[in-house]
A and B are shown apart, each in its own frame.
Chain A
Amino acid sequence: MIPVTSPSRRAEERLLHLDPRAGLFRDASVAELPSMLHPADLVVVNDAATLPASLAAAAPGGQRVEVRLAGEARGGRWRAVVFGEGDWRTRTEDRPPPPTLRSGDALEFDGRLHATVIAVSPLSPRLVDVRFDAAGSALWSALYRLGRPIQYSHLEAGLALSDVQTAYASRPWAAELPSAGWPLTWDLLLGLKRRGIALAAVTHAAGLSSTGEAALDRVLPLPERFDIPARTVAAVTKARAAGGRVVAVGTSVVRALEGCAARRGGLAAGQGTTGLVVGPGFVPRVVDGLLTGFHEPGSSHLGLLRAFAPPPLLDAAYAHAAAAGYRGHEFGDSTIILAA
């Protein structure tokens, strides 16, 4: 599938609508989304803002590395994937590995910000937990001063932080753009509200899409934290009671809602962490429909879609999308899986 080479947010983006019950798909546009939904339906987005998660650092031997923050863990720890020298113009999988890191090693970002490696994951020598030597506003000011958003080699130019925020970004929890929500303009979202379709949010710390190491990529996504506000739980309950459908914008929303429901036996407000892997045979308890991008063959995202649409329908729809010139990757076209 053709990647997009520069980001822009347009409601005329193409949208491939899959109806799993009818076993059909059809070409549409994102602007038609309001007409696909009914009053009483609920649209749930991930309001996580995208972090400046890519930081250049010096490893103990002085080697230059790129540290990609995968997410903040408890107690001031951050999970990170470390890449060898090079920049975003090289495909992630072609980047050299980082030097061997050990617990206790220091990473220097600039004269004022350092981190200590406090654990190396058994999953991969490049997956580490670090602790910064700053906290609070000193840490956040430094991260925003030194960090850049994670870059994509398929784009023509580097991305600025404002290029990777959804129209409703709030807390900076996401390592990469929760991209399913990228095409949603406020014109469209307020149009949904005017039609009586409710909007609600979860915050889900969407992690890294690629680690540069095949074995580690296969275990993605790593456990991710989420926060489900009480008003979102109430909105789901209300939609259900009124016979409405719950439409998740992005696989991260599915992971938050279904991860919470699987662990607690139902949706509950509050923060949690989920390692839930959704795939074929998974029966969603909360989510009825899914708006998302086009995903790579073999990715966990594509596997997740199989819980919402039968594989033969997905395969046929993806073959059509490729033939019809739909664009994949971040900032690409969209698909919605929703029974009429």
Chain B
Amino acid sequence: MRIEGSAALVTGGSRGLGAALGRALAREGARVALVARGAPELESVAAGIRAAGGEAHALPGDVGDTRGTAALAGAAAALVGPIDILVHGASTLGIVPLRLLLDTDAAALERALAVNLVGPFRLTRAVAGGMVLRGRGLVVHVTSDVSVVAYPRWGAYGVSKAAFDHLARIWAAELDGTGVRFLSVDPGEMDTRMHAEAVPEADPASLPKPAAVAERIVRLIRDAETLASGARLEAATSAVAP
């Protein structure tokens, strides 16, 4: 997928991997629209990209908000043009500290599903039709190993990510041959606020930085036409994961 001159929409763009992906895509010449809930942080990431000579626009919004999707998709397309690359980077653990399912209330699971599954579905649905008409597009699901390994205490997040991976596979099957592709990418553990919330005892210095992981994901985006649509990949090795 040619990144230079493309229009990209990145959710979860105010910090961590989402912000790093926004910066990396802009550095490669994409026009980037960034979405996240925290307006000041988001604007500061966009301003940083512009200061470095890239194009970025901050669109504060919550991907879990049912009514906001058409607005986010519309505003993004107004600012950067029809979307070529959609990155679902936003996600929530659902509940912190992480708990056993027996101690997790249903609202936490519903919130995880709303942000990690239904919101991305809604946003892809708002964007992918135009991609099919143009015969070109890539949707990246940022996933996690919790989608394939049943770690105790990661229930709400893990269930939502497992469904999220399968969502990418079904999108890929339905839109096979249209030029619109899907990838699930597991970034691995990173030094992010989400990781600190989930695993407070971890030593941040021992973890890869989001910027380095973003560079690897950008390489996968560039090579997307050579990868099976719907595949689940590990960013660290670029290997197809189970």
List residues of A whose CB falls within 8 A of some B CB.
Answer: 45, 47, 49, 51-52, 136-137, 140-141, 143-145, 160-162, 165-172, 186, 189-190, 193, 199-201, 229, 231
Most interface-central of A49, A52, A166, A190 (chain B CB within 10 A)? A49
Produce 1/0 per residue, B14-52, CB < 8 A to A. Answer: 000000000000000000010000000000001000000
Specify which of B78, B81, B83, B130 is in contact with A140 (CB 8 Å cutoff): B78
Produce 1/0 per residue, B144-185, CB < 8 A to A. Answer: 000000000000000000000000000000000010000000
A186 touches B74 (CB 8 A): no
List residues of B whose CB falls within 8 A of some A CB.
Answer: 33, 46, 57-60, 67, 69-75, 77-79, 81-83, 126, 129-130, 132-135, 178
A161 touches B71 (CB 8 A): yes
Specify which of B57, B71, B135, B178 is in contact with A144 (CB 8 Å cutoff): B71
A168 touches B78 (CB 8 A): no
- Identify 25 residue pairs between A and B in the complex whose beta-carbon atoms are under 8 Å apart, listed by A's number: A47-B133, A49-B70, A49-B74, A136-B57, A137-B46, A137-B79, A140-B78, A141-B75, A161-B70, A162-B70, A165-B70, A169-B129, A170-B77, A171-B78, A171-B81, A171-B82, A172-B74, A172-B77, A186-B132, A189-B132, A193-B178, A201-B130, A201-B133, A201-B134, A229-B134
What is the CB-to-nearest-CB distance from A176 to chain B, in angstroms, rounded to a whole number? 14
User: Which residues of chain A are within 8 angstroms of B133 by Cβ–Cβ distance?
Assistant: 45, 47, 168, 170, 199-201
User: Which residues of chain A are within 8 angstroms of B134 by Cβ–Cβ distance?
Assistant: 201, 229, 231
In the docked arrangement, what's the CA distance between A172 and B60, Å? 18
In the docked arrangement, what's the CA distance between A277 and B197, Å? 61
In the docked arrangement, what's the CA distance between A193 and B129, Å? 14
- Smallest Cβ-Cβ distance to A203: which chain B residue: B82
A161 touches B129 (CB 8 A): no
Q: Given known contacts A193-B178, A231-B134, what 17 new A-B pairs fall within 8 Å (CB)?
A: A47-B130, A136-B79, A160-B67, A166-B129, A168-B129, A168-B130, A169-B73, A169-B74, A170-B130, A171-B81, A171-B82, A172-B78, A186-B132, A189-B132, A201-B130, A201-B133, A231-B135
In the docked arrangement, what's the CA distance between A162 and B65, Å? 13
User: Which residues of chain A are within 8 angstroms of B78 by Cβ–Cβ distance?
Assistant: 140, 171-172
Specify which of B59, B81, B178 is in contact with A137 (CB 8 Å cutoff): B59
What is the CB-to-nearest-CB distance from B130 to chain A, in angstroms, rounded to a whole number? 4
B130 touches A141 (CB 8 A): no
**A137 with B58: in contact, given A52-B71, A172-B77, A172-B78 (CB under 8 Å)?**
yes
Specify which of A140, A162, A193 is in contact with B79 (CB 8 Å cutoff): A140
Specify which of B57, B77, B178 is in contact with A49 (CB 8 Å cutoff): B77
B130 touches A137 (CB 8 A): no
What is the CB-to-nearest-CB distance from B165 to chain A, in angstroms, rounded to a whole number? 22
A169 touches B59 (CB 8 A): no
User: Which residues of chain A are within 8 angstroms of B130 by Cβ–Cβ distance?
Assistant: 47, 168-170, 201
A-side interface mostly: mixed
Most interface-central of B46, B81, B129, B135 (chain A CB within 10 A)? B129
In the docked arrangement, what's the CA distance between A229 and B136, Å? 13
A167 touches B129 (CB 8 A): yes
- Smallest Cβ-Cβ distance to A170: which chain B residue: B130
- Smallest Cβ-Cβ distance to B76: which chain A residue: A140
In the docked arrangement, what's the CA distance between A171 and B127, Å? 10
User: Which residues of chain A are within 8 angstroms of B83 by Cβ–Cβ distance?
Assistant: 170
In the docked arrangement, what's the CA distance between A143 and B83, Å? 19
User: Which residues of chain B are within 8 angstroms of A199 by Cβ–Cβ distance?
Assistant: 133
- Smallest Cβ-Cβ distance to B75: which chain A residue: A140
In the docked arrangement, what's the CA distance between A49 and B129, Å? 11
**A137 with B129: in contact, given A51-B74, A170-B82, A231-B134 (CB under 8 Å)?**
no
In the docked arrangement, what's the CA distance between A55 and B132, Å? 32
User: Which residues of chain B are within 8 angstroms of A52 by Cβ–Cβ distance?
Assistant: 71, 74
**A161 with B59: in contact, given A170-B82, A171-B82 (CB under 8 Å)?**
no
What is the CB-to-nearest-CB distance from A27 to chain B, in angstroms, rounded to a whole number? 29
In the docked arrangement, what's the CA distance between A45 and B58, Å? 30
User: Which residues of chain A are within 8 angstroms of B75 by Cβ–Cβ distance?
Assistant: 137, 140-141, 143-144, 172
B74 touches A144 (CB 8 A): yes
What is the CB-to-nearest-CB distance from B154 to chain A, in angstroms, rounded to a whole number? 32
What is the CB-to-nearest-CB distance from B223 to chain A, in angstroms, rounded to a whole number? 23
User: Which residues of chain A are within 8 angstroms of B71 by Cβ–Cβ distance?
Assistant: 52, 144-145, 161
A141 touches B60 (CB 8 A): yes
User: Which residues of chain A are within 8 angstroms of B81 by Cβ–Cβ distance?
Assistant: 171
Most interface-central of B75, B133, B178 (chain A CB within 10 A)? B133
- Smallest Cβ-Cβ distance to B177: which chain A residue: A193
- Smallest Cβ-Cβ distance to A72: which chain B residue: B78
In the docked arrangement, what's the CA distance between A189 and B131, Å? 13
In the docked arrangement, what's the CA distance between A140 and B71, Å? 9
User: Which residues of chain A are within 8 angstroms of B33 by Cβ–Cβ distance?
Assistant: 137
In the docked arrangement, what's the CA distance between A53 and B100, Å? 48
What is the CB-to-nearest-CB distance from A199 to chain B, in angstroms, rounded to a whole number? 6
B132 touches A162 (CB 8 A): no
- Smallest Cβ-Cβ distance to A142: which chain B residue: B75
B60 touches A169 (CB 8 A): no
